């Protein structure tokens, strides 16, 4: 009985819905050039200009002024929020713990902490792939006039592509760095009484062992230098 009444009610309102839809579409059509212009100017002045990544929260007036283009802006802000979330939590806690491992001896004795950090790095890499794909899928389905698209493309490249690339590079280098540390840790543990720890320094009793250690440590140092270079790039935009 209620189902019949619901259908009757919907049939009664259908002409009103249709009329409202016509008014709504006509309104969007009339305001679109102004909305496009306002959104384009906002992207250029507030997002694109300058080296830093800035994504101001929209006011109610701005949301009204941009109309449906607020959804396109939400792709940029949503990506950044998800990116921040992916790097927080467990991984941030692990990285804080690793700062206390300031010697090779500490790294050997706390191998499980390094393994945990590497596992969390790989987990964040998987999350990042999904976040980037989600933004790319939304970007691919956008229907924007050519003049706005030219501006939005620059904003997307700065916010999504740039941050995504730097994040991927950071995670790849972290994974490789942790791999190097684990390899060195296993090597040092296998040396037994052939080595001695003197603060942060490892002393070898055999030249062959020292040569092998220096070889592995060279790879670690290259990764650490690359991480520092990435960190400087990130500091320039954040």
| The pairing of beta strand 195-198 with beta strand 201-204 | antiparallel
With respect to residue 60, please indicate whether it lies within any of the assigned structural domains: no
Tell me, yes or no, whether 212 lies in a domain. Answer: yes
pLDDT at 90: 63
- 183 with 84, same domain? yes
How sure is the predictor about 103, in pLDDT bands with cuts at 50, 70 and 90? confident
User: Helix, strand, coil: what percent of the chain each, to 5?
Assistant: 85, 5, 15
Task: Specify if 1 maps to a domain.
Answer: yes
**Domain membership flag for residue 58:** no
Higher pLDDT, 170 or 100: 170
Phi, psi of 8, deg, nearest 5:
-65, -45
Q: Say if residue 4's pLDDT is above 90.
A: no
Measured CA to CA, the distance from residue 39 to residue 34 in angstroms comes to 9
From residue 109, how far is each of 41, 77, 180 by CA, in Å? 56, 42, 16
pLDDT above 80 for 167: yes
Q: Are residues 75 and 41 in the same domain?
A: no
Statement to judge: residues 34 and 76 lie in one domain = no
Reported as a pLDDT band with limits 50, 70 and 90, residue 30 is low
Are 24 and 126 in a shared domain?
no
Q: For residue 61, is it within any domain?
A: no
Q: Which two tokens stand for residue 231?
A: 């960190």
User: Could you tell me if 107 and 150 lie in one domain?
Assistant: yes
- Range of weakest confidence among 30-34, 38-42, 138-142, 155-159: 30-34
State mean pLDDT over 140-165. Answer: 96
Most confident stretch, 45-49, 103-107, 220-224: 45-49
Closest CA to 54 of 46, 62, 42: 46
Q: Is residue 150 part of a domain?
A: yes
Please state the φ and ψ torsions of residue 201, each to the nearest 5 degrees. Answer: -100, 145
Do 41 and 74 lie in one domain? The reply is no
> Could you list the residue range(s) of the whole structural domain that residue 14 is in?
1-46
- Per-residue pLDDT, 200: 83
CB 89 within 8 A of CB 105: no
Tell whether the model's pLDDT for residue 94 goes beyond 60. yes
pTM above 0.75, yes or no: yes
- Whether 93 and 167 map to the same domain: the answer is yes
Q: Does the pLDDT at position 185 exceed 80?
A: yes
Answer yes or no: do 12 and 117 share one domain. Answer: no
pLDDT band for position 104 (cuts 50, 70, 90): confident
Same domain, 75 and 13: no
6 versus 42: the higher-pLDDT residue is: 42
Average pLDDT over residues 168-177: 92
Percent of the chain having pLDDT more than 70?
87
* 85 within a domain of the structure (yes/no): yes
CA distance 75 to 62: 16
Does residue 16 belong to any structural domain of this protein? yes
* Number of domains the chain contains: 2
The verdict on 41 and 149 lying in the same domain is: no
Quick one: 73 and 144 in the same domain?
A: yes
88 with 26, same domain: the answer is no
């Amino acid at each position: 009985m209620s189902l019949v009444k619901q259908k009757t009610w919907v049939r009664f309102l259908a002409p009103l819905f249709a009329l409202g839809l016509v008014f709504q579409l006509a309104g969007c059509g009339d305001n679109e050039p102004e909305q496009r212009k306002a959104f384009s100017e906002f992207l250029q002045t507030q997002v694109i200009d300058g080296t830093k990544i800035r994504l101001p929260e929209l006011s109610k007036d701005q949301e009204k002024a941009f109309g449906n283009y607020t959804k396109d802006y939400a792709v940029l802000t949503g990506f950044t929020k998800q990116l921040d979330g992916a790097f927080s939590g467990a991984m941030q806690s692990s990285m804080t713990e690793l700062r206390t491992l300031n010697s090779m001896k500490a790294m050997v004795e706390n191998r499980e902490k390094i393994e945990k950090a590497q596992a969390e790095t790989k987990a964040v890499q998987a999350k990042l792939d999904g976040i980037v794909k989600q933004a790319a899928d939304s970007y691919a389905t956008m229907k924007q006039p050519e003049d706005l698209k030219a501006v939005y493309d620059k904003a997307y490249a700065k916010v999504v592509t740039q941050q995504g690339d730097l994040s991927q590079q950071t995670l790849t280098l972290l994974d490789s760095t942790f791999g190097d540390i684990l390899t060195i840790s296993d090597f040092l543990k296998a040396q037994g009484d052939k080595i001695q720890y003197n603060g942060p320094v490892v002393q070898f009793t055999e030249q062959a062992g020292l040569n092998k250690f220096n070889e592995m440590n060279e790879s670690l140092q290259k990764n650490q230098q690359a991480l520092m270079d990435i960190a400087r790039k990130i500091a320039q935009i954040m």
